[in-house]
Structure 1
Amino acid sequence: MTAIKQRQVFYLHGFDPRGAAHYHRLYREQAAQQSKVNGLNINVADRKRHSSHSHRWQLNANGTQSNYCFLSWDDIVRRHWAKGWKHILSDMLSFMRCYVLTPNAFRYIFAAPKQLMAGLYPALFMLLSMVLSGWASASAATQLPWQAAQWPAGLVLFAALMHGSKWLGNKMAVFWLLRIYAFSARWANGRVPELEARINHFAGQIANAINDERNQEVVVIAHSVGTMVAMPAMARALELINDKARLANQRVVLITLGHCIPLVSFHRKASAFRADMRALGHTPELLWLDYTAPTDGACFPLLNPVTSCGETCAPNAGPRMLSPRFFTLFHPPRYKKLRRAWYTMHFLYLMATDKPGPYDFFAFTAGPLAIASQLKERT
């Protein structure tokens, strides 16, 4: 078993407008809860801004120091976060055009049927909102004794009801997946140019950590849409390594959680993105662990992100397709409730569990053993 004294962790968040403060607080709270399960008393230091696009905090547990770096692109997310009905409707039209009314729709259906069903959910919500708001405003307006005021009063009431419906939709995360679909389509078609510079910035930081011999292990861990960002960032980082021997002994680890990579990789124009994935799939020195749960409706469960888009993996290379087996990590009554909370289910990868098992986010990021050793111990 390989013990780790110093580890460098990079975390890439998903399509979430919340920044480093939210994820630092989440990690601190959940690590404290997980200590009752894994016995790791992780001391989570205060968050410090490292650069304009990264924040860092120290993790100390059982003699192991992990430097946790939050790679931030939430500012880009906020610029593409549809707010009003006009932008939400635009996202819906983009989803229909790029994912439903296209020959690629069959690829998505076969890859993850729940994905398209989840994408259609906002459309049903919007239709129901308009029908109910229209019916309620018309019924109320016709009750006014002044006929000339009925039409403008109905419009005002309709607008108010639709505003309330949008507020409810945001609370229920109805439009969250819709925004992801629209953003992914724009990215695949080269319409998010600001993301390229950010990816190159991330790649430089990752490469510097790999080149630093003091780091016994370098872990890049990405969640949800962050797994898409991780593909080119990791591929470019590997190109910047001074000595390929620094990848030996599974020192560099890529962990992708709840990936939805086909939302970009299946697009015809995403050839450069697929080339980056092919490069990762032909790097056997890289330990790539891909965790997806069949109960997570926002991911592509147990689908190889490299081969599914037509690329190949070299022998003993590419992602190891794994399931966190959430049903073994939570007590049955609690798990039954979690399965009904689809939004929470997608974030379980980052949260504390009730019981020990094959997956432990906090042991991966702060534990005293190298991740390769942890895998052997857990199987």
Structure 2
Amino acid sequence: MSKPVSHTPPGVPEPRPGRVGRRHVFYLPGYDPEARSRYRLLFVRELTRYAKVFGQGKREIGRAEAGPLLGENPGQDLNHDPRGEPLVQAWRVAAHPRTEGAETTYEVLLWDDLVARDFARSKFVSSVLLLAGTAHAIAAGKLVTFYRLHWKYGNVILYPFVMLLMLAAAAGAVAYAVHGALGEGGALGLSLPAPVTVPAGLLAGLALLAAMEAALNRIFFWQLLNDWVFNWQHGQGWRTDYERRLDAFADHALARVAAFEAASPPPDEILIVGHSSGALTAVELAARLITRHSRLGEAEGPSLGLVTLGSGLPLVALQPRARRLRAEIASLVTCRRLVWVDYGAPQDWMNFPGFNPAADLDLGLGADAVVANPVIRSARFRDIISPETYRRVRFRPFRMHFQFLMSNDRPGEYDFFDMTLGPRRLLDRVLDAQDEEAAPEAIAHG
């Protein structure tokens, strides 16, 4: 059985005339404790490579400027993280006359301090939370649903759980072996009493786990464990720190929009772009902006686009208690003031290609509701990556997952830098590509 990856909703808005001369991008990174050092370097490196691959010539990239979130946050200081570090990184990319590329301001809104706090949590506590979250997903039948949506992501979800059981078994085996070797009749002939051999065995088991720490980090064990725990906690409504940060992001974005309205000229397009877990953040931010600014995205102002890349939205949205998130998604699904484009890729292990929130979630839409979003497309990694690169990265899940933010090797509909820096509006790009589309890609299930 196969499911098409691409879908255009019946109520998709009409494209606007004119090209983009100025663009503002709000970029939301995923669940990454090193976001403030990663994404600027990745952007500069990949844009430089992109210019070489497509012979466009180098584009001028301004210096990164770090600063606080704008807006009012009564009763709490949310403009910096608890360490006093700024929560915004911004830089400008100059217009490009040869390609008619837009002048783009690129702002990264950071929440890596919340992720770092999760990583600093006791590993025992994190492990208990993983067991609880996985048991809850299994009991609620959600793990089966995740596998049905994309079996690769199902394996990624189950990976830290299985690894944790294997680690516990290995540590237990070492502990038992040391206890036996030191005890009466043991291989070492020491015949030590149990009050000595039992603690010694436990220490040996813990030493094994400590010795494996570097290897566990290399195989992304703690990254995926904490990510899954975060999504489970968020779906249960327990991440008030994250909710406060979302509200602070909305305050900041609204302050920027107010500045745009007073500027001459304002940007032609505003994009909210989220990758991986940041796709969920982007959805939640866009919903808050649409609710709090009644004119945002209307014809007389900048066009508004929401782009979700390699999204794990179902991990939270399918949880029974995630009612607020589903209400926010419903507000976007029927909203014609913005264009929401979701890019997935069957080759990516950590997304749900073809997932359609309007059809696959119970959003409580009325019979007369006109669905305008999202437009769903495949990034078609097989087409835009060279065969040599594809063979090298196909079994490296994180590398494949980050292809959404990297330079293509070949031209294609999905093009991160043309989307964020090019002259066409988001909807124009998608509909132009649809007109040129040959055969729709499908993802096999089962």
Same-fold call, TM > 0.5?
A: yes
Q: Give, in whole Å, the separation in 2 of the partners of 1:166 and 1:4.
A: 49
Change in 2 beyond 3 A, CA 1:259/1:239: same
Deviations 1:40-73 (A, max 9, x none): 6332222111213212111124053211110111
Tell me, yes or no, if the aligned pair for 1:286 and 1:317 is still in contact at 8 Å. Answer: no
Q: Read off the aligned partner of 2:33 and give its amino acid letter.
A: P
- Of structures 1 and 2, the larger Rg is shown by 2
User: What pairs up with 1:291-330 in 2 under 5 angstroms?
Assistant: 291-311=343-363, 312=365, 314-315=369-370, 317-330=372-385
Structure with the bigger percentage of helix? 1
- Equivalent residue number for residue 360 of structure 1: 415
**What SS class does the counterpart of residue 278 from structure 1 fall into?**
helix
Bigger CA drift: 154-163 or 250-259? Answer: 154-163
Structure 1 residues 216, 178: CA separation in 2 closer, same or farther (over 3 Å shift)? Answer: same
Q: Is the 8 A contact 2:358 2:371 kept in 1?
A: no
Asked if 1:172 corresponds to 2:219, the answer is: yes
The aligned amino acid for 1:270 is A
Q: What's the TM-score once normalised by structure 1's chain length?
A: 0.91
Distance 1:351 1:145 in 2: 60
Cα deviation, residue 325, structure 1: 0.4
Deviation at 1:6, TM superposition (A): 1.4
Return the offset for 1:135. Answer: 4.0
Q: 1:29: Cα distance to partner? A: 0.8
* 1:262-283: CA deviation from partner (whole Å, max 9, x where unpaired): 1111122211111111110111
Q: Aligned partners of 2:129 and 2:295: how far apart in 1?
A: 44
- Unpaired runs of at least 5, structure 2: 1-16, 69-79, 81-86, 182-186, 437-446
Deviations along 1:179-226, one digit per CA (max 9) or x if unpaired, are 222111211222111222211222233334445241111011001111
Deviation at 1:105, TM superposition (A): 3.6
Distance (whole Å) between structure 2 residues aligned to residue 134 and residue 145 of structure 1? 22
Say if 1:100 and 1:221 are closer, same or farther in 2 by CA, change over 3 A: same
Question: CA separation of 1:215/1:186 partners in 2, compared to 1, >3 Å: closer, same or farther?
Answer: same
Matched with 2:208 is 161
Counterpart residue number, 1:146 = 190
Greater shift in the superposed pair: 78-87 or 241-250: 241-250
- Which residue among 336, 339, 353 is the counterpart of 1:284? 336
Structure with greater contact order relative to length (CA < 8 Å, sep ≥ 6): 2
1:351 counterpart (391, 406, 423): 406
Specify whether residues 83 and 337 from structure 1 end up closer, same or farther in structure 2 by C-alpha distance, changes over 3 A only. farther
Structure-2 separation of matches of 1:185 and 1:65 = 39
Instruction: Name which of 14, 25, 28 aligns with 1:12.
Output: 28
CA contact (8 A) 1:137 1:158 kept: yes
Cα distance between partner residues in 2 of 1:340 and 1:362: 25
Pick which of 314-323 and 290-299 moved more.
314-323
Asked if structure 1 preserves the Cα contact closer than 8 Å seen for 2:268 and 2:302, the reply is no
Letter in 2 for 1:94: A
| CA separation of 1:158 and 1:206: change in aligned 2, threshold 3 A | same
Q: What is the 5 A alignment of 1:51-200? A: 51=68, 52=80, 53-63=87-97, 64-81=102-119, 84-136=122-174, 142=181, 144-148=188-192, 152-200=199-247
* Alpha-carbon RMSD: 2.5
Change (3 A) 1:247 1:20: farther
Aligned-partner residue type, residue 166 of structure 2: L
Deviation for aligned residue 1:367: 1.9
Per-residue deviation, 1:368: 3.1
Which of 37, 58, 79 pairs up with 1:41? 58
Query: Shift of residue 24 of structure 1?
Result: 0.7
In the alignment, the residues of structure 1 paired with residue 217 and residue 270 of structure 2 have an alpha-carbon distance, to the nearest angstrom, of: 37
Question: What residue identity is the alignment partner of 2:334?
Answer: H
Structure 1 residues 55 and 66: CA distance shift in structure 2, 3 A = same
- From the superposition, tell whether residues 258 and 325 of structure 1 become closer, same or farther in structure 2 (CA, over 3 Å): same
Structure 1 stretch displaced more, 15-24 or 100-109: 100-109
Q: Which AA in structure 1 matches 2:303?
A: R
Shift of 1:130: 3.4
Q: Give the partner amino acid of 1:34.
A: Y
Shift of the 193–88 alpha-carbon distance from structure 1 to 2, 3 Å rule, reads: closer
Moved more, 117-126 or 271-280: 117-126
Structure 1, unpaired ranges of 5+: none
C-alpha distance in 2, partners of 1:165/1:124?
16
Q: Does 1:256 align with 2:308?
A: yes
Question: Quick one: distance in 2 between partners of 1:224 and 1:40?
Answer: 30
Measured against aligned partners, the alpha-carbon deviations of 1:307-352 in whole angstroms (never above 9, x if no partner) come to 3221249536111111110011111122022111012111110112
